[in-house]
Amino acid sequence: MPTDNTSIAAFIDALPKVELHVHLVGSASVPTVLELARRHPDGPVPVDERELRAFYEFRDFPHFAEVYESVSSLVRTPEDVGTLVSGIARDLAAQNVRYVELTVTPYTHQRAGMPMPAVTEALDLAAREARDGFGLGLSYIFDIPGEFGAEGARGTLDHALRHPPETLVGFGIGGVEQSRAPFRDAFRDAFAAARAAGLRSVPHAGEMTGPETIWEAVEGLGAERIGHGTNCLRDPRLVAHLRETQLPLEVCPTSNVCTGQVADLAAHPLPRMLEEGLFVTLNSDDPPMFNTTLTGEYRVAAEAFGLGRAELASLARNAVTASSLDEEGRKAIIAEIDALG
């Protein structure tokens, strides 16, 4: 049990955590990506470690999306999918993460020629291994790649409805937000069908565009959580709505810096979001690509934003509350967090 003299770093290491915003492909460690690149040498990803690390130096979000797609193109078999899930489960368990909602973009696997049932079987097997081998609860979010428009929406929804993994809990959309407008109705229809099937609406919004994308997520997609949402501060009416409803925002500070959405951590809006009374959770997004971890994001919150133990514990509780865990599961993790204090 930590004493008053325990360092913030030790407190963060011991803090039980929940991760709500992390992508399957983006979670692949450098060694894993190198393994896949060497397994599929015809792909666009460097097979040399130094070149790969340089490959991960992003100019802006479109460049990040291009690199992400290149890495995703290396995931060609269900075995590759299972390897990625097992890797992130091992990494998260080592950080005292108790539960994760892992975002998968199944349409990219369909395009690579993988049958839906085979992908689902790999996801189910890996989730069971995460639970039995690492004590990690693992659920899935299926994510529309926004750049693929109506076709991507249909493919993602079809997989979610016809061949859902056992622990599928959410339906989202990611990619370059500027590409969504022409397909608004298709995305709305897909989310409506997913919600009718019992999936939670958890779209990305307001990361690289303004408040209008967040409003569309709330009003058009029925969002129950927002991925990023950092540009909400541009609209006082939206801030007031988010404060009143306590709609959870999945904030990923290091990601925002690495993709050029903010100039540096000093310019990041998270402190103001907390001052405004918004419901914030901390997340890692694509940790190896951004040279971070979920634990690292809590350290950023302490070191760059000056948050103390009580505030860090509050962020950890927020993630539990915003998760899709049942009441018993939430209470168990919150009790662990409270005991640490």
Which residues are the active-site residues? 207
Amino acid at 221: L
Cα–Cα distance list, 313 to 206, 282, 322, 341 (Å): 26, 11, 14, 8
Q: Measure the CA–CA gap between 197 and 194, rounded to whole angstroms.
A: 5
Residue from 206, 205, 198, 188 nearest 168 by CA = 198
Cα–Cα distance list, 221 to 138, 169, 225, 312 (Å): 24, 16, 11, 30
The residues near 103 (Cβ < 8 Å, ≥ 6 apart) are 21, 22, 23, 24, 140, 141, 142, 143, 172, 174
DSSP assignment, residue 199? P
Report helix, strand and coil shares of the chain as percent, to nearest 5: 60, 15, 30
DSSP, collapsed to helix, strand or coil, labels residue 285 as strand
Sheet holding 280-282, edge to edge: 204-205, 226-228, 249-251, 280-282
Q: Let me know how long the chain is.
A: 341
In 263-341, which ranges are E strands? Answer: 280-282
